[in-house]
Amino acid sequence: MSALVAIVLPLLVLGLFALSVWKTVRGVPGRRWRRPGWWVFPAVVLVGVGCVTWFVGAFAGGLDVGEECARRGVRYDDDYRAEHWREPSQWFPLHNRCNADYDLVPAFVNPTLVVVAVLLVGCVVAAVVVTVAGRRERVGRP
């Protein structure tokens, strides 16, 4: 049973993401963004992008950070890592430093996570605005 879940669940998540991308792209020229429910699709796309970006950053150091630093030609500083031992386990901002000057987490990760969070809030605000505007239009108020 667990093997079936391990196979089917990722396919369902990928299918949901693909459907949301398709519905988002197709909905813009058709002005479907005027319907509150449409805003779920861009939100799902943003959550997918955010999750992938977060995983890229969270696992940037690999299993052996010292080995990854050496592979990149950067000095691994045990003293710095001991002093900043909490840093790699933070949820945000993501950092996994070899030393004070070099971070294994790609530079795009943290700004992308911030942009995704702001755009998600924008999706919620837009859905509320569209809902309120639709109700006012039905009631006949300006």
pLDDT tens track for 86-124: 888 889 999 999 999 999 999 999 999 999 999 999 999
pTM of the entire structure?
Answer: 0.85
pLDDT at 61: 87
Please, which pLDDT band fits residue 140 given cuts at 50, 70 and 90? low
CA atoms within 13 A on the CB side of 52: 8
Q: At what angle do helices 2-27 and 40-58 cross, to 10 degrees?
A: 120
Quick check: helix, strand or coil at residue 136?
helix
* Residues composing the chain: 142
Q: What is the pLDDT of residues 35-91, one digit of tens each?
A: 999 999 999 999 999 999 999 999 998 889 999 999 999 999 989 988 988 888 889
Q: Where are the alpha helices (DSSP H) in 28-108?
A: 40-58, 65-71, 78-83
Distances (CA, A) of 71 to 2, 60, 63, 66, 130: 37, 13, 13, 9, 52
